[in-house]
Structure 1
Amino acid sequence: MKQVSLALAISLAISVTAQTASATVTDQDILNDHTITSQVVTNGMGLQGQRFSPLKQINQGNVKKLLPVWSFSFGGEKQRGQEAQPIVHDGVMYVTGSYSRVFAIDIKSGEELWQYDARLPDGIMPCCDVINRGAAIYGDLLYFGTLDAKLVALDRMTGKVKWAKKIGDYKAGYSITAAPTIVEGKVITGVSGGEFGIIGKIEARDAKTGELVWSRPTIEGHMGMLNGKESTMTGTKNATWPGDMWKFGGGATWLGGTYDPETRSIFYGTGNPAPWNSHLRPGDNLYSTSRIAINPDNGEIKWHYQTTPNDGWDYDGVNEVVSFNQGGKKLAATADRNGFFYVFNREEGKLVNATPFVRDITWAKSIDLKTGRPVYDDANRPGNPTASEDGKKGKSVFAVPSFLGGKNWMPMAYSQETELFYVPSNEWGMEIWNEPVNYKKGAAYLGAGFTIKPLFEEYIGSLKAIDPKSGKIVWEYKNNAPLWGGVMTTAGGLVFTGTPEGYLKAFDSKTGKELWKFQTGSGIVGSPITWEQDGEQYVSVVSGWGGAVPLWGGEVAKRVKELNQGGSVWTFKIPN
């Protein structure tokens, strides 16, 4: 009888919490997310993606007292990689899990309010694990993308589906893994699937109805859409793509975007051109491996900057564009897979600086600051298979960084106090060679083989504090396994990130000294957040090892093969 009464009490408490979590999320909530400490309603802890919190109740002096207050499990049968950043609003945490799931959690008790599981069909083709990186909220709806390439809107009080829209054909390789972005009443999404020869695109939908407002393909030659009609072509057909290669050109927008209200620009990165074999597609192959500024009203490209023209190493240019102001200038920074850290003027995309942030880069000697183009080392481009004796395998080269990148998807952070960027990076290279390939719907479209290898015995992962004014590395923390999780920094002088070994760690933002760590039981590949509730500061992170490293890591995967999978959210505070 007591057990029944207790269960009823818990059920009633959860019901009351769900009913009181009724305050709608407004445009102002989203625009001011970086300053409102009682919430986290955007991926990036602010539309500009700085992942900086002005909270400082938890600081260098007391972070060692940080303890867990609750942990919530995603369930044991669907673990795999957990790369989400939670969002928090009005007493509720919303977090996505592997296999396109969403959980609503009471932030005081850690109790589940509701759970939504997408009904995924057989035959989905995720490139790099069955992950999901987060959701967005606006009004009374919660939005997230699925592995079968749908954008779903849920009632955030109940988890019931309000509408669902097909974004692409999953049988052709399309999927969605990134968190959507809300911009001026529109839901902005990208697509995954570049390894299958899909066409990348950025789309805006009416947040209330899901109806398409505009669509902008990211490979030249394809037509955009605006209000149900064709608008303008992306670029000029065959200007930088030969023949029909543009029809299956890749350029996936798989990481999601940021938004700068000062210039009213949506920033997205675009992935590798398809196939990987660059000898099949001579030319710059726009707009692959680029950063693109988009007009939020009509989807037109305002400017672009291409980091790796005629990419032959799978150096996706999707890495996040983080807006910041210094010296009276409107700037933006991005740490590219290709190993260079770029700073440019975000009003017109003009390059300000580009410096290496990982060691021993081989594919390029430098970045020409006048032209903005890399100075290639042609000897370190994989060879053309047609030049080989059998026509089946081109000359192999050892390239640094590996195709998993100097920095992959894991987001960096920027501190408004130290004016430093905190970049999760990895030091590795790869043997890579080209092979013949033809496009076939739903089949891998690579035309390359590879083996990833660590550069150093003592470490692979490296968290670096970078001064954007000079590109100088101010401090570095080295980690045995690759770093694959996001970073957060706070006004308390702290930098938080997780490791595949399972630790959430806090560092001194000025010196890099490790101040605190906690073992979560599985590798951390998600992004931490912090917020304030009832006068207390909380920190949360998703734990659950997986992602691309154990699937694609080659010799590197051997170093992490003993790490445990999992799926949970850990929430911490300093006890009273």
Structure 2
Amino acid sequence: MISGSTGAARAADGPGDPSKAPAPVPAQAAGPTDDDLMASATNTSSVLTYGMGPRAQRFSPLTTINADNVAKMVPAFASSLGGEKQRGQESQPIVYDGVIYVTGSYSRLFAFDARSGEKLWEYDARLPDGIMPCCDVVNRGAAIYGDKIIFGTLDAHLVALNRKTGKVIWNKTLADYSAGYSFTAAPMIVKGKVIYGNSGGEFGIIGKVEARDVNTGELVWSRPTVEGNMGMLNGKESTMTGKLNASWPGDMYKNGGGATWLGGTYDPDTNSLFFGTGNPGPWNSNLRPGDNLYTSSVLAIDPDTGEIKWHYQYTPHDGWDFDGVNEFIPFDATINGKPMKLGAQANRNGFFFVLDRTNGKFISATPFVSKITWATGYDKKGRPMFDPNNRPGPPTGEKGNTVFSAPSFLGGKNWMPMAFSQQTGMFYVPSNEWGMDIWNEPITYKKGAAYLGAGFTIKPLYEDHIGVLRAIDPTTGKIKWEYKNKAPLWGGVLTTAGNLVFTGTPEGYLKAFDAKTGKELWKFNTGSGVVGSPVTWEQDGEQYVAVMSGWGGAVPLWGGEVAKAVKEISQGGSLWVFKLPRQ
């Protein structure tokens, strides 16, 4: 790595004989506009946004590769990220103007030629020694706009690079990494603003959603996600989030967690951003009586001002680290004969939620995993019906009572994004079957230290499988089909109008399934665990599918007995691209 306080970009080839200098780079398009990003769900020649559209449904209308011919799909090329920086590769590729952009572990960004796989340039953030990533050194993707490609770093910076050269355009410090702040999500761009959330909820930070001018990087607004903290708009204090001490005791809101570490979705119909919020801090819920707004929730936010339009709290007074950051995906459907604008989320706590996205009204919550112990369900008002015997009690001495809870804190579904098919009307949810022994411990806040106040041991529920890919009808909550996998599922899902569903496995496979029946139609082993999110596009008259390969993430770090079961999986770092063979 070339040293430097802002990182360095490197061309694929170093200096050499001038007579062998590469040919001039062909003129490239000016770059995606706001209108392009809003229309990206139907743009089959590019992948312009995280989630393949502002609503992040991860659905492609392409049909060239379909359930009848996917078995013939072969690799087009594989491109290595190189070096010793392996670990989890959770990125989703961005594809534009003949270039594939992917982020890598340790806050790197790469540009590859979309036809040959040749590396065009690489940017390495120069990370300080004191970074404190909670759950591996991952990065989930970048955002593209005009001449810029933008991503966040583990030392809580947001960096805009020239998409043609990799040179820095602007670099902004978002927060103090020494307090536990970091950045792992893919940012999104709405109305000329880069909108993002922060990471670091396990360190007693304050969750925020923020917007910056895409051209300058200057802060436009900031919205804390923990009640009692003050927002900002155009350089001045705006409004307080919630009401001081309404659901938090004393000063605990000052270290309340609620990190928005997965990023958001956007619904043009209602002009609303939807951001999920993380767990409250500390995990020991006995120290913070109350609902602890707005943690473990979904917030609808005005992208122009940062004001909260409505909220829904999935897990009030969360005592199991269930978070609420999983993607909230807007979709339209008919419920009881009434066409509705809805949103869905598969929560860490094991329930699949459907809400009215215009006002946050609760529609339904149905289990999507086989075992849930912390609650028996949700009442008509959308409040969970807790099992009081399943909440870890206050510590007496070094620890409190141990309870067995399912799902585990790694969730019925964790960060890995689900997909919604406009063809079948179903959501495809990567889920896991595991529980945990959990107990509370004494804890006080200390800057830069883990702020848990709990101990745990994760255990698989079944001997033959942990991961389960499930197809769910959101109008009924019924599971239409499921595919069981021995290791946990930790990668995103893609669905297409070709009646296909793609997802990866830790065993190294990218797999394709029949979207209607769940039948496995194709698989290919990439050599390392697949924990990235696949995408598809067309170029030169052919359809391509791409995914990152590289085992890592939270499972091998936090997985307890589960981690032992996957310890032989090799790490890696490569981009794999597939297509049908030429006729």
Aligned equivalents of 1:9, 1:66: Cα separation in 2: 40
* Structure 1 contact 106–112 (Cα < 8 Å) conserved: yes
Match of 2:520 among 500, 507, 514: 514
Aligned equivalents of 1:9, 1:37: Cα separation in 2: 39
* Structure 1 contact 341–355 (Cα < 8 Å) conserved: yes
1:380 maps to 390
Question: Normalized against structure 1, the TM-score is what?
Answer: 0.97
By how many angstroms is 1:318 displaced? Answer: 0.2
1:351 maps to 362
Aligned equivalents of 2:542, 2:181: Cα separation in 1: 42
* Residue identity opposite 2:528 in structure 1: S
Q: Could you give the per-residue CA deviations for residues 465-512 of structure 1, whole angstroms, max 9, x where no partner exists?
A: 000011000000000000000000000000000000000000000000
1:452 has 2:463 as partner = no
1:259 maps to 266
SS at match of 2:564: helix
By how many angstroms is 1:23 displaced? Answer: 3.1
1:176 has 2:186 as partner = no
By how many angstroms is 1:193 displaced? Answer: 0.3
1:303 has 2:310 as partner = yes
Aligned equivalents of 1:475, 1:247: Cα separation in 2: 44
* Structure 1 contact 76–566 (Cα < 8 Å) conserved: no
Q: How many equivalent pairs are there? A: 566
1:340 maps to 351
Match of 1:57 among 41, 44, 64: 64
1:412 maps to 418
Aligned equivalents of 2:353, 2:329: Cα separation in 1: 11
Match of 2:567 among 543, 556, 561: 561
By how many angstroms is 1:24 displaced? Answer: 1.2
SS at match of 1:12: coil
Aligned equivalents of 2:427, 2:159: Cα separation in 1: 33
2:322 maps to 315
Alignment RMSD, CA only? 1.5
2:543 maps to 537
SS at match of 1:319: coil
* Residue identity opposite 2:284 in structure 1: N
Q: Judging changes above 3 Å, is the alpha-carbon distance between structure 1 residues 11 and 34 closer, same or farther for their aligned structure 2 residues?
A: farther
For structure 2, which runs of at least 5 residues remain unmatched after alignment?
A: 1-12
SS at match of 2:178: helix
Aligned equivalents of 1:7, 1:125: Cα separation in 2: 43
By how many angstroms is 1:565 displaced? Answer: 0.2
1:30 maps to 37
SS at match of 2:22: helix
Q: Could you give the per-residue CA deviations for residues 489-536 of structure 1, whole angstroms, max 9, x where no partner exists?
A: 000000000000000000000000000000000000000000000111
* Structure 1 contact 50–415 (Cα < 8 Å) conserved: yes
Aligned equivalents of 1:414, 1:264: Cα separation in 2: 20
Match of 1:367 among 354, 378, 385: 378
* Residue identity opposite 2:344 in structure 1: A
Q: Could you give the per-residue CA deviations for residues 519-565 of structure 1, whole angstroms, max 9, x where no partner exists?
A: 00000000000000011100000000000000000000011000000
Aligned equivalents of 1:383, 1:329: Cα separation in 2: 41
For structure 1, which runs of at least 5 residues remain unmatched after alignment?
A: none
* Structure 1 contact 23–90 (Cα < 8 Å) conserved: no
Runs of 4+ residues over 3 Å off in structure 1: 6-11
By how many angstroms is 1:12 displaced? Answer: 2.3
SS at match of 2:475: coil
Matches within 5 A, 1:418-433: 418-433=424-439
By how many angstroms is 1:367 displaced? Answer: 1.0
SS at match of 2:54: coil
Q: Could you give the per-residue CA deviations for residues 140-188 of structure 1, whole angstroms, max 9, x where no partner exists?
A: 1111000000000001111000111111100000000000000010000
Q: Could you give the per-residue CA deviations for residues 347-366 of structure 1, whole angstroms, max 9, x where no partner exists?
A: 00001111000011000000
SS at match of 1:20: coil
Q: Could you give the per-residue CA deviations for residues 273-309 of structure 1, whole angstroms, max 9, x where no partner exists?
A: 0000000000000000000000011000000000000
* Residue identity opposite 2:238 in structure 1: S
By how many angstroms is 1:7 displaced? Answer: 9.6
By how many angstroms is 1:56 displaced? Answer: 0.4
* Residue identity opposite 1:55 in structure 2: L
1:214 maps to 221
By how many angstroms is 1:11 displaced? Answer: 6.1
2:150 maps to 143
Q: Judging changes above 3 Å, is the alpha-carbon distance between structure 1 residues 471 and 273 closer, same or farther for their aligned structure 2 residues?
A: same
* Residue identity opposite 1:377 in structure 2: D
1:549 maps to 555
1:231 maps to 238
By how many angstroms is 1:22 displaced? Answer: 3.0
Match of 1:109 among 105, 108, 116: 116
Q: Could you give the per-residue CA deviations for residues 192-219 of structure 1, whole angstroms, max 9, x where no partner exists?
A: 0000000000000000001111000000
* Structure 1 contact 21–91 (Cα < 8 Å) conserved: no
SS at match of 1:424: strand
1:475 maps to 481
Aligned equivalents of 1:8, 1:383: Cα separation in 2: 71
Question: Normalized against structure 2, the TM-score is what?
Answer: 0.96
Aligned equivalents of 2:383, 2:165: Cα separation in 1: 50
Aligned equivalents of 1:535, 1:25: Cα separation in 2: 21
Aligned equivalents of 1:520, 1:315: Cα separation in 2: 31
Aligned equivalents of 1:398, 1:520: Cα separation in 2: 36
Aligned equivalents of 1:90, 1:276: Cα separation in 2: 46
SS at match of 2:175: coil
Q: Judging changes above 3 Å, is the alpha-carbon distance between structure 1 residues 220 and 480 closer, same or farther for their aligned structure 2 residues?
A: same
